[in-house]
Amino acid sequence: MWKEILLQLEDHYEAMVEMRRYLHQYPELSFQEFKTAQFIADTYESLEIPYQKNVGGNGVVARIEGGKPGKNIALRADFDGLPIQDEKEVPYRSKNEGVMHACGHDGHTTILLTLAKVLKQFQQELAGTIVFIHQHAEELTPGGAKPMIEAGVLDDVDYVFGTHLWSSAPYGVVQTSPAEFMAGADRFSVTIHGQGGHGAMPHETKDAVLIGSQLVTNLQQIVSRRIDPLKTAVLTIGTFQAGNTFNIIADKATLTGTVRTFDKEVQKFIIEEIETIIAGTCQGYQVNYTFDYVKGYPPVVNHEAEALEVVKAAQSVEEVTKASFVDPSMTGEDFSYYLLDKPGAFFFTGAQQENNFQPHHHPKFDIDERAMLIAAKTFVQLIKNYQ
């Protein structure tokens, strides 16, 4: 049976590419993925696989109950896009202005739908239940994972697994970790309320650009000089917005940034240090400020036994050239919530295009579509190993 499943997946590869490219053309932003959710639901309807819509928001959950008793295994794929203009010169470029699948979620969706189509044919020979979790809003906190879990998607699940098509890793490579795998991801903003004026009379102003620039420099000293070098942390300022023209000193400046950590105590310390530095810097220039800090997704921490199963499963896939544990990534993912609730693991499936590497969230991001087949086969081997 298992060999036949893998062969059928290979037979479906061209259809996988077609589906992924269709989804790539019609991305939708987080919490607005109504048509994508309907596409997923319609696919399960056509396959005569029971499903639920509007789970925890725009989520869709389908189940294939095997003909034999066994473990219930959940597989998760996200399906939201990003507010990025697609700049690729390809026939399947996004048709939705300013919205793009720049992170591979179209591929994730395709993997699960194709796998469900194939496994449906072997339903009576399967043991346990396979739960297909199609999650909305991974890209934008508070995310879709938590409300879907609260809606009960993991209530009868024994193990949960997910993958991310990863453009930073070559095709044929599968990566995971036996513990910490992806960082907790927070965001913050600070607005400096200065006093504007003529560019020729700086002594009559409180220059928000100057103060903001000083703040950027000061904040960088938290990680470099206040955090134990053996602890992992990132603090990045992503935007700095101020001023309207060249000869007017700005009265307001807004900075936004992100903090990435694994340790709750480090996170707490950084939050306190940020506000201390902001307050001290602004007090020194005699200006007011507003500060907002939003705690995002917790770190993705795999369960060791299940991470080992991922490596073992991937090593059984013919196209995989290397399956191994790697150092954690400072990127974030709300798959973390699933792992706080049930045993499981998250893994990267190498999807870097040869001679065309672009990072995730880039306007020219794309994937090696063959990676979808590796991910689907790895899921099959995982299911097999738990039978």
Q: Which residues are catalytic?
A: 80, 138
Cα separation, 174 vs 350, whole angstroms:
6
Q: At 59, give phi and psi (nearest 5°).
A: -70, 150
Cα separation, 58 vs 54, whole angstroms:
5
Cα separation, 80 vs 77, whole angstroms:
10
Closest by Cα among 104, 281, 79 to 194: 281
Alpha-helix residue ranges (DSSP H) falling in 163-290: 208-221, 264-284
Cα separation, 119 vs 49, whole angstroms:
10
Judged by phi (left if over 0) then psi (alpha if -120 to 50, else beta), residue 313 lies in alpha
Cα separation, 322 vs 311, whole angstroms:
9
- Angstrom CA distances, 137 to 10, 82, 179, stand at 30, 10, 25
Closest by Cα among 48, 2, 43 to 22: 43
Paired sense of beta strands 59-65 and 51-55, if any: antiparallel
Cα separation, 22 vs 27, whole angstroms:
9
Q: Is 303 annotated as a binding-site member?
A: no
Cα separation, 263 vs 165, whole angstroms:
26
> Does residue 114 contact residue 376 with C-beta atoms inside 8 Å?
yes
Closest by Cα among 132, 142, 128 to 53: 132
Q: Is 164 annotated as a binding-site member?
A: yes
Cα separation, 102 vs 80, whole angstroms:
10
**Token pair in block for residue 177:** 């970790």
Q: Is 139 annotated as a binding-site member?
A: yes
Query: How many helices and strands, by DSSP H and E, does the chain display?
Result: 10, 16
- 10 Å CB burial of residue 230 (0-12, 13-18, 19+) is exposed
Closest by Cα among 208, 189, 213 to 288: 208
> Does residue 140 contact residue 334 with C-beta atoms inside 8 Å?
no
Q: Which residues line the annotated binding site for Mn(2+)?
A: 103, 105, 139, 164, 361
Q: Which residues line the annotated binding site?
A: 103, 105, 139, 164, 361
